Structure 1
């Protein structure tokens, strides 16, 4: 058996998978985000339950938010209890088996190039998460791209271009990472709400924007056009750097088929003629993809 755990700011999800990466069981528990030792103890308890239920010890992989630096510490994540802990050493103290861990966005694309994924079998692929944040991960020559300092794939922290800022009269907003003008502030779910307000709309959630857009609200339509254009420009930059054969869109906004359908054209507008276009597709595995990718990571699949 193979266990994958997705550790979020509010919930922990553990999935149990067989050798064909079919899910056998899953459950969730609340995340004690501010208390590192309590969080590690909860993870260990969940794994112990999985072992007892399956009658064997499974391999283990963790998907974590934020950036994991070269020293094995968590950076820019909404898990304050883990930020000061050396993860590799701390995890080895709590589990009686090897533990693989990585950014949750990398776990996502690892799953999507696996069996049944939206980019199954691709050796060059990029996973773009559009949810509460905007994370990413890359597969290059069939392997996860980590990079120096663990920053590879963080497309959400590329800067808003001067041309886009001028085109839509957008201010440079402060980002939680400490920088200003990061794309995440404009292209994530909360970012879309920010755009809607910028153009004169009123909303607290992306669902409110969507209802207004469906009703033909001019501010909602302008926010949509700006949003898709910004994503297209960012993914064009990713394409110039990594040349993926497929870009898989995940996160809550990937469930809006109209948004995903417009991205290939938006991407193409920011590429020069003759460039091989990647196919842009929505995640086939949805919210389960990150958990499965963590399990695959723990088993050493495609790494």
Structure 2
């Protein structure tokens, strides 16, 4: 058996898979985000419970939001209780087996290029999550790219393009990472709402913006134009750096078919002749991708670069 754990700011999920990657069991527990010791104890307890329920000891992979730096510390705004821990060392003291830990966005791209994923078997892929945040992960030559500082793929913290900022008179917003005008604040779900309100709309959620856009509201149409320009520019930069064959879109905004369909043309505007626009596909496994990717990494399905 293979266990995957996806640690979120409010809920932590464990899933148990058989050797063919069929899900045998899964459940969620509230995340004690402010209490690191309680969170570590929760993770160990979930693993022991899985062992009892399935009569064995599964391999283990864990996905966390944010950046796990080169020193093993987690930089995640929604898990403040873990900031003082060297994560691998702290987990090793609570867990009775070997394990792999990874950023949840990189778990996502592993799952979606694995069996049954939207880009199954693809060796060069980029996974872009557009939900409450904007995370990403890359597969290069079939290997998960981590980089020296372990934060490769963090496209949401690329800077706002100056041309788009001037064209749409966008404010320079502070980012939770400590920088200013990171793309995440404009392209993720809450960012799309900010764009709508910037142009005079009144939505409070991405879903409300989408309904206004479908109804032809002017502010919603202007927000859509700006959002696509920002996404096209950002993903074109990813293409120029990594040359993926497929870009997989996940997160809440991926449910909007019209957004996914519009991305190739939006990227093409920012690519020079001769650079092929990659296929853009929506995640096939949805919310299950992160936890499944963690389990796959724990099982040694991919190597890391």
Q: TM class, shorter-chain normalised? A: over 0.9
- The structural deviation recorded for 1:74 is 0.4
Matches within 5 A, 1:180-195: 180-195=180-195
TM-score (norm 1): 0.99
Runs of 4+ in 1 over 3 A off after TM superposition: none
> CA contact under 8 A between 2:77 and 2:176: conserved in structure 1?
no
How many pairs does the alignment contain?
Answer: 303
Q: Which position in structure 2 is the counterpart of 1:95?
A: 95
> CA contact under 8 A between 1:71 and 1:86: conserved in structure 2?
yes
1:136-166 CA deviation, whole Å, 9 max, x = no partner? 0000111110001112000000001111111
1:54-94 CA deviation, whole Å, 9 max, x = no partner? 10000110000000000100014310011110111111111
Note closer, same or farther for the CA distance 1:77–1:99 as it changes in structure 2 (3 Å cut): farther
Q: Which position in structure 1 is the counterpart of 2:141?
A: 141
Q: Provide the rounded CA distance (Å) in 1 between the counterparts of 2:224 and 2:181.
A: 19
- The structural deviation recorded for 1:20 is 1.4
- The structural deviation recorded for 1:277 is 1.7
After superposition, the CA RMSD in angstroms is: 0.8
> CA contact under 8 A between 1:33 and 1:80: conserved in structure 2?
yes
Once the two structures are overlaid, the 10-residue window that deviates more, 202-211 or 150-159, is 202-211
Q: Which position in structure 2 is the counterpart of 1:199?
A: 199
Unaligned runs of 5+ in 1: none
Secondary structure in structure 2 of the residue aligned to 1:128: strand
Matches within 5 A, 1:206-221: 206-221=206-221
- The structural deviation recorded for 1:17 is 0.7
> CA contact under 8 A between 2:2 and 2:59: conserved in structure 1?
yes
- The structural deviation recorded for 1:186 is 0.2
TM-score (norm 2): 0.98
Q: Which position in structure 2 is the counterpart of 1:248?
A: 248
Q: Provide the rounded CA distance (Å) in 2 between the counterparts of 1:237 and 1:77.
A: 26
> CA contact under 8 A between 2:246 and 2:279: conserved in structure 1?
yes
Q: Provide the rounded CA distance (Å) in 1 between the counterparts of 2:77 and 2:68.
A: 9
> CA contact under 8 A between 1:67 and 1:77: conserved in structure 2?
no
- The structural deviation recorded for 1:23 is 1.0
Q: Which position in structure 1 is the counterpart of 2:265?
A: 265
Q: Which position in structure 2 is the counterpart of 1:34?
A: 34
- The structural deviation recorded for 1:35 is 0.2
Q: Which position in structure 2 is the counterpart of 1:126?
A: 126
Q: Provide the rounded CA distance (Å) in 2 between the counterparts of 1:31 and 1:282.
A: 28
